[in-house]
Amino acid sequence: MSMTGMPRFRKIWSTVQVGVLAVAVVFCIVMLVIGQGKLDRVYAVAAVFFGLALIGHSTYLWLIARGDRSRS
């Protein structure tokens, strides 16, 4: 357990998810730019969904890092 009360693997897992979500958002944006016709709406919704999840996980990691610095 870390100082935050969360298991250490949670921070590692969240970091992995940030990387995967960033790739997913970039992929969706590229597919929108290229233009897949009928799937444009799907990629737009996926980009928003993955973007919101990316913001959430990034915020979590930022808050954990900020909390660790203030305890030091």
Q: What are the structure tokens assigned to 69, written together?
A: 């610095």
Q: What is the pLDDT of residues 1-30, one digit of tens each?
A: 455 566 678 888 889 999 999 999 999 999
DSSP per residue, 26-59: HHHHHHHHH--GGGHHHHHHHHHHHHHHHHHHHH
What is the predicted pLDDT for the residue at 10? 84
Q: What percent of the chain has pLDDT over 70?
A: 89
Question: For the whole model, what pTM was predicted?
Answer: 0.78
Give 9 or 47, the one with higher predicted confidence. Answer: 47
| Other Cβ atoms closer than 10 A to 31 | 17
| Over residues 29-50, mean pLDDT | 91
